[in-house]
């Protein structure tokens, strides 16, 4: 509950508050430009993961990283290919280039050499270079490589993924907001009675968004996913706070209260329901903080912080703007565009049995389906018509996949290393293998080998084996190969030996294992936190179960659809939607349940359910449609696969939650009415005896008339 002194201060100094918010907004807009963005999902794997420790050890022992990008050039003879390699090495962004001359003696005709090795780098007059480029400025690296490759050349690899994510994030945020804000305004114009009110809502929440995004400077960096979705999600999930506040103000004005009194009453009376709604969203987002995969805390903290700033904007800035612009709001009123929903309430009650039967039939398949999806754990693919997708096709069609791995084994155990290499070469996925033993023999002293090659494959303590496999960047075969190589290493060297395995497949495998471990914890904490807030708000034991169940059913259906349609689903999106959809849409159920509890004090359970649907449908539609529209805009505009998919699933989830709250929840409240009364403190439901007496009186009056 807001204190009277604070309320009086806001009303009395409303112009000063507007000035303060204006200054803070401008400052936040400048601070937002300095927030560092991280585009590498692998950096969010826990520091204790095997792949993270392996990368650190390789950098410590060898310094040089694995090749992170491939470049293919057509119409090249060997002489031209060698000259082009020197051109690549001359680029500021390139630190190393590997080609055929690093594997074979080119003085010997290629026809007389190992054809598998030759065709790994040179096939049908196309030269394929393995390049180590600067990841810290991936965009500059990619642009320089594409410039030297020209339209005929092709570039693929990690640098492309990082650069494309960075370019998309920088260019698409503005485009997303350009589409999302007008759509939200149109929905609000339809849902309200004033042309100016929607602008006021959007302005207040936009200020909260800017304050949130600007204060991200307190973090060392945020992920590109957070940067892409945080602003638009905050806009969508907190807009209803402003709507509820202004509606409450208008109610008091219509009751005859002067403007200042109406605003004060609205601040006092609307704080509790808005705070309860915000708390469920806040804790739903905050559950992501407990993910070991650090993208969860990254996104969760920013979104939870956004809820706080939206609350501050609604209870400080919005009252000030209402006091300043009330006359203009009055002059811009229009007739209601939304129809009456009395018929909808009757329909929900009439269809109670079919609705319950349908839900009972689909709940188990939906629950099992959403747990059986074929998940993607990395960045996903590129847009079909993009240069990146074209380049991937060109290189893959000619050379297949080239998964780079570096295996660090103890240098002082050459006999075991030779056994390890023999077992690796037996794997059908392995295309090539380079090690000190493979270019010499285990008995040959390192002094005879060139210093340049020795430094790449030998350190004081480790021998580095470079392996190239024909595995995609992600997929079941990728995980299987990573796990198989780890098993071979344990078999040869023992599980306690210091073996370090580096490569994208090991990173993706650790990412998969980490995210899967997070799933149960994060979902459990989100459900527990939201249920606790509902229990406190309603002082009830049973209502949290019914409300959470309603939203969870919609989540299960939403996340099961990819399984039944045979499409892949990003596990990052799956986990985020599981918590965000719960936190953002359980508010719909809270609003309807609050009306049901109030109506049950004067009506029977059937009439209370019907009236609750009729009274709240209009209020529920606008936030649900805004969240759905924002999600679909993300899906349509973003070229980042994981962001686009997140938007699609979240938008679909908002509509499913709305449908479940309107059609399922009222009937659950009716069925469990007696249980709710028994498990809710001071429910004060209308007694059955009074209900029957009232119904009898109404029947008698109808008979007489």
Domain boundaries, the chain: 338-372+540-705, 390-509
* Residue 48: alpha-carbon gap to chain centroid: 23
What's the burial of 181, exposed, middle or buried (CB within 10 Å: 0-12/13-18/19+)? Answer: middle
Pick 338-372+540-705's CATH classification: 3.40.50.1000, 2.30.40.10, 1.20.1640.10, 3.40.50.300: 1.20.1640.10
Average pLDDT over residues 450-454: 58
- Residues 140-199 have pLDDT tens digits of 999 999 999 999 999 998 888 888 888 877 777 778 888 888 888 888 888 888 888 888
Average pLDDT over residues 568-580: 79
Band of residue 365 on the pLDDT scale cut at 50, 70, 90: very high
Using CA atoms, how far apart are residues 195 and 331, in angstroms rounded to an integer? 9
Between 66 and 90, where is the model more confident? 90
The model's pTM: 0.81
Pick 390-509's CATH classification: 3.40.50, 3.30.70, 3.90.1570, 3.90.1150: 3.30.70
The dihedral through the CA atoms of 152, 153, 157, 158 has a sign that is negative
- Residues 582-615 have pLDDT tens digits of 888 888 999 899 889 989 998 889 999 999 999 8
Statement: residue 442 has pLDDT above 60: no
Strands (E), 411-461: 430-434
Statement: residue 454 has pLDDT above 90: no
* Both structure tokens of 675: 């249980």
Q: What is the pLDDT of residue 691?
A: 65
Statement: residue 699 has pLDDT above 80: no
Q: Residue with structure tokens 């400052």?
A: 27
Statement: residue 700 has pLDDT above 60: no
Helix and strand numbers, DSSP H then E, in the chain: 27, 13
* Residue 273: alpha-carbon gap to chain centroid: 28
Statement: residue 696 has pLDDT above 50: yes
Percent of the chain residues past pLDDT 70, beyond the cut: 94
Average pLDDT over residues 663-674: 95
Statement: residue 443 has pLDDT above 50: no
Average pLDDT over residues 43-57: 83
Statement: residue 543 has pLDDT above 90: yes
Percent of the chain residues past pLDDT 90, beyond the cut: 33
DSSP 8-state secondary structure symbol assigned to residue 94? E
Using CA atoms, how far apart are residues 418 and 427, in angstroms rounded to an integer? 15
Upper half-sphere CA count for residue 378 (Cβ side, 13 Å): 22
Statement: residue 448 has pLDDT above 50: no
Using CA atoms, how far apart are residues 202 and 236, in angstroms rounded to an integer? 10
Q: What is the pLDDT of residue 686?
A: 83
Query: Taking all residues of the chain, what is their mean pLDDT, rounded to a whole number?
Result: 86
Q: What is the pLDDT of residue 444?
A: 42
Q: What is the pLDDT of residue 381?
A: 67
């Amino acid at each position: 509950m807001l204190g009277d002194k604070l309320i009086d201060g806001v009303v009395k100094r409303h112009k000063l508050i507007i000035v303060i918010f204006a200054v803070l907004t401008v400052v936040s807009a400048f601070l937002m430009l300095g927030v560092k963005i991280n585009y590498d999902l692998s950096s969010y794997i826990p520091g204790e993961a095997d792949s993270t420790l392996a990368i650190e050890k390789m950098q410590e022992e060898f310094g040089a990283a694995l090749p992170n990008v491939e470049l293919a050039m057509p119409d090249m003879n060997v002489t031209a290919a060698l000259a082009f390699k020197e051109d690549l090495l001359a680029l500021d962004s390139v630190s190393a280039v590997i080609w055929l001359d690093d594997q074979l003696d080119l003085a010997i005709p290629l026809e007389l050499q190992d054809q598998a090795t030759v065709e790994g780098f040179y096939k049908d007059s196309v030269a394929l270079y393995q390049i180590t480029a600067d990841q810290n400025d991936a965009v500059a690296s990619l642009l320089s490589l594409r410039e030297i490759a020209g339209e005929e050349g092709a570039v693929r690899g990690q640098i492309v993924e990082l650069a494309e994510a960075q370019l998309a994030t920088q260019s698409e945020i503005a485009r997303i907001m350009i589409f999302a804000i007008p759509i939200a305004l149109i929905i609000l114009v339809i849902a309200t009675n004033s042309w100016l009110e929607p602008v006021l809502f959007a302005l207040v929440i936009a200020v909260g968004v800017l304050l949130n995004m600007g204060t991200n400077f307190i973090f060392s960096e945020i992920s590109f996913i957070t940067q892409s979705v945080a602003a638009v999600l905050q806009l969508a999930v907190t807009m209803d706070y402003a709507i509820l506040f202004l509606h409450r103000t208008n109610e008091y004005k219509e009751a005859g209260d002067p403007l200042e009194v109406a605003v004060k009453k609205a601040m006092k009376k609307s704080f509790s329901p808005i705070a309860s709604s915000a708390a469920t969203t806040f804790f739903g987002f905050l559950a992501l903080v407990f993910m070991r995969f650090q993208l969860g805390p990254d996104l969760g903290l920013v979104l939870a912080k956004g809820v706080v700033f939206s609350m501050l904007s609604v209870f400080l800035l919005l009252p000030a703007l209402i006091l300043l612009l009330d006359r203009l709001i009055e002059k811009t009123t229009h007739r209601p565009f939304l129809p009456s929903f009395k018929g909808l309430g009757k329909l929900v009650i009439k269809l109670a049995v079919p609705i319950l039967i349908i839900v009972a039939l689909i709940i188990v398949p939906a629950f099992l389906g959403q747990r059986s999806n074929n998940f993607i754990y990395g960045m996903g693919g590129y847009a079909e018509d993009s240069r990146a997708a074209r380049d991937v096709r060109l290189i893959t069609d000619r050379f297949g996949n080239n998964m780079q791995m570096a295996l660090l084994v103890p240098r002082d155990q050459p006999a075991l290393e030779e056994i390890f290499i023999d077992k690796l070469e037996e794997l059908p996925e392995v295309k090539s293998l380079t090690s000190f033993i493979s270019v010499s023999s285990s008995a040959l002293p390192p002094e005879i080998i060139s210093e340049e090659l020795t430094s790449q494959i030998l350190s004081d303590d480790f021998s580095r084996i470079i392996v190239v496999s024909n595995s995609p960047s992600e997929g079941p075969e990728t995980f299987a190969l990573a796990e198989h190589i780890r098993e071979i290493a344990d078999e040869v060297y023992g599980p306690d030996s210091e073996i370090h395995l580096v490569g994208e497949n090991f990173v993706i495998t650790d990412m998969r294992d980490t995210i899967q471990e997070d799933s149960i914890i994060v979902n459990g904490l989100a459900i527990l936190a939201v249920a606790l807030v509902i229990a406190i708000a309603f002082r009830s034991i049973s209502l949290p179960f019914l409300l959470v169940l309603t939203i969870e059913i919609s989540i299960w259906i939403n996340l099961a659809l990819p399984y039944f349609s045979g499409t892949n689903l990003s596990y990052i999106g799956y986990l985020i939607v599981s918590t965000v959809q719960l936190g953002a849409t359980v508010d719909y159920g809270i609003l309807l349940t609050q009306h049901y509890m109030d109506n049950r004090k004067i009506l029977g359970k059937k009439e209370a359910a019907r009236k609750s649907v009729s009274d709240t449908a209009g209020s529920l539609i606008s936030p649900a449609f805004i969240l759905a529209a924002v999600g679909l805009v993300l899906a349509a505009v973003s070229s980042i696969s994981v962001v686009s998919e997140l938007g699609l699933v979240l938008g679909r989830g908002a509509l499913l939650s709305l449908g479940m709250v309107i059609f399922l929840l009222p009937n659950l409240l009716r069925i469990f009415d007696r249980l709710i009364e028994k498990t809710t403190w001071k429910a004060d439901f209308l007694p059955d005896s009074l209900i029957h007496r009232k119904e009898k009186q109404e029947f008698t009056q109808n008979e007489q008339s």
